[in-house]
Amino acid sequence: MRKVIVLLVLICILLCSPALFAQSVTIGTLPQSGTTQFTSSQQTFVDLTHPATASGAISAVTVRWSINGGGTCTNAFKVKFIHPNANGTGFSVTERGPFTATLGDVTVQLSPSVSVTAGDFIGIAVLQPIATCGGLLFATSDPSQRYWRQTGDVVTSGDFSNGNFGNGLTLPAVGRSGSEYLAGIVTAAGATQGVGAFFRTAMQLTNPDQSSNAIGRLVYHPQGRPAGTNDSSLQFNIPPNGTTSFTDVITQMGLSGLGSMDVMMTQGPLPAITTRVFSDNGPAGTLGFTEDTFAPEHALGNGQYAFLTLPSDLTNFRMNIGVRTLDTGATLNVYTYDSTGNPVATRTLPAYGPNVFDQVPVATFTGASPVPPGGYILITFNVFGGRAFIYSSVIDNRTSDSTFRLADIK
């Protein structure tokens, strides 16, 4: 009986506990660029697009600020933590500040730290006139970004009906629980032998910010085990408008194999990252695909449906399915349909633990035998709270040319 208990404890340590890789709790985001949008004060702005990723204590906040001619401004802003009520109409507020603002990225330490719950929002109250103290640099490039604003300094509580909702602006404020935070995920990266080819990963990181270095590290999590605090990493420190390149990033870490890559930031915005996974054919050149870097909030979650289309030719092409979970892990239901819409297989996968990466052949993922060419896969979450990125990679068996596709969301 003692051996059984010890075995169960070890299994839970490996699969159940996020403590092996305790990603810092974050709230808000720091976009790559921005402009001043609002000239009146006092106003309170709340980011509705980037809620707290988990429950925890926020100890530091960075905001992006502009002051004409530079200099400093005392009592320029306060940091607000918005805790929505059960029906989402009203909220309570925890605040820190006021703080002094300077040109560029301003990091303030919160004393004491502020406890947040997953789903809470971050806000900034601008206290002084823009003509004398400047203001926030809102990013304007993404129409999916949602925010809320209200005239005045919202101090202890409020009601969303008393302010204005808007789209297309990103509040430049991010809070974190540690010295760094997870800003982006490259779902698949590797240096590994494939069928008839060796696959490598090249990355270029560009810092588009004109006033702050982008400082952080790339952290590689290999397939087959939960992420750990001792996982290999590469540091980067990119000057304003600068670019850093890694021609074979996994090999440059002294590693091989397949896994995923996290971009952890300590200062500045998430760089603009170009990742290319390619088949190294030596003198014959390379074949491959470009892969996006995804912010954690773009992961699939409970209540969403993911779709992946199966190749119509499963003789000359093979397909792999990859899953990268976040700090809550995930349990997935997989439904496979043929090209006429008839169901051919149903499977509930074993639970993925927190921060796990796995890539397997499509037949293993679906449990379908045979896999129906030209059909599709529907993926749902079986347990509330799971979050994951899911993708397919299709490889030409004759040339080793490959494609990458993130699962479509419904």
- Measured CA to CA, the distance from residue 273 to residue 271 in angstroms comes to 6
The per-residue pLDDT for 95 is 97
- Identify whether residues 162 and 32 lie together within a single domain: yes
- Identify whether residues 32 and 166 lie together within a single domain: yes
Q: How far is CA 52 from CA 73, 79, 98, 124, 322, in A?
A: 29, 14, 22, 15, 26
- Identify whether residues 292 and 306 lie together within a single domain: no
- Identify whether residues 373 and 231 lie together within a single domain: no
pTM: 0.81
In a domain? residue 337:
yes
- Residues near 285 by beta carbon (within 8 Å), at least 6 away in sequence: none
- Measured CA to CA, the distance from residue 124 to residue 154 in angstroms comes to 10
- Identify whether residues 43 and 31 lie together within a single domain: yes
In a domain? residue 19:
no
Distance of CA 120 to the CA centre of its chain: 17
In a domain? residue 324:
yes
pLDDT band at 244; cut points 50, 70, 90: very high
In a domain? residue 319:
yes
The per-residue pLDDT for 196 is 66
* Predicted confidence (pLDDT) at residue 12 exceeds the cutoff of 50: no
* Predicted confidence (pLDDT) at residue 11 exceeds the cutoff of 60: no
Residue 203: give the domain boundaries: 181-296
Point out which residues pair with 233 in neighbouring strands: 219
In a domain? residue 122:
yes
Of 240, 266, 296, at which residue does a domain stop? Answer: 296
Between these two residues, 195 and 232, which has the higher pLDDT value?
232
In a domain? residue 227:
yes
Q: What is the mean pLDDT of the chain?
A: 88
In a domain? residue 8:
no
- Identify whether residues 226 and 353 lie together within a single domain: no
- Identify whether residues 146 and 32 lie together within a single domain: yes
Between these two residues, 4 and 44, which has the higher pLDDT value?
44
Report the range of poorest mean pLDDT among 35-44, 186-195, 227-236: 35-44
In a domain? residue 1:
no
pLDDT band at 332; cut points 50, 70, 90: very high
Specify the number of domains making up the chain: 3
**What CATH number does the domain containing 146 carry?**
2.60.120
Q: What is the pLDDT of residues 75-114, one digit of tens each?
A: 999 999 999 998 889 999 999 999 999 988 899 999 999 9
Amino acid found at 188: A
Tokens of 404: 């990458």
Of 176, 209, 236, at which residue does a domain stop? Answer: 176
- Measured CA to CA, the distance from residue 354 to residue 371 in angstroms comes to 29
* Predicted confidence (pLDDT) at residue 352 exceeds the cutoff of 60: yes
The average pLDDT across 204-208 equals 94
- Identify whether residues 367 and 241 lie together within a single domain: no
User: Contacts from 248-255 at CB under 8 Å and sequence distance 24+?
Assistant: 248/191, 248/200, 248/201, 248/202, 249/189, 249/201, 249/202, 249/203, 249/218, 249/220, 250/189, 250/190, 250/191, 250/200, 250/201, 250/220, 251/191, 251/200, 253/220, 255/191, 255/220, 255/222
The average pLDDT across 129-134 equals 89
* Predicted confidence (pLDDT) at residue 5 exceeds the cutoff of 90: no
The per-residue pLDDT for 1 is 40
Tokens of 272: 């603009």
* Predicted confidence (pLDDT) at residue 8 exceeds the cutoff of 70: no
The per-residue pLDDT for 23 is 57
Q: Could you give the 3-state DSSP secondary structure of residue 160?
A: helix
The average pLDDT across 156-170 equals 93
**What CATH number does the domain containing 361 carry?**
2.60.290.11
The per-residue pLDDT for 19 is 40
Of 249, 277, 296, at which residue does a domain stop? Answer: 296
Between these two residues, 41 and 267, which has the higher pLDDT value?
267
Report the range of poorest mean pLDDT among 90-94, 210-214, 217-221: 210-214
- Measured CA to CA, the distance from residue 116 to residue 54 in angstroms comes to 8
Report which of 255, 214, 212, 213 is spatially closest to residue 233, judged by C-alpha positions: 255
Question: Strands 306-309 and 408-409, how do they pair?
Answer: antiparallel
pLDDT band at 38; cut points 50, 70, 90: confident
* Predicted confidence (pLDDT) at residue 48 exceeds the cutoff of 90: yes
- Identify whether residues 155 and 199 lie together within a single domain: no
- Identify whether residues 156 and 207 lie together within a single domain: no
Cβ count near 306 (within 10 Å): 21
pLDDT band at 22; cut points 50, 70, 90: low
- Identify whether residues 284 and 320 lie together within a single domain: no
- Identify whether residues 269 and 392 lie together within a single domain: no
Q: What is the pLDDT of residues 359-407, one digit of tens each?
A: 999 999 999 999 999 999 999 988 777 889 999 999 998 888 889 999 9
* Predicted confidence (pLDDT) at residue 301 exceeds the cutoff of 90: no
The per-residue pLDDT for 386 is 83
Cβ count near 61 (within 10 Å): 25
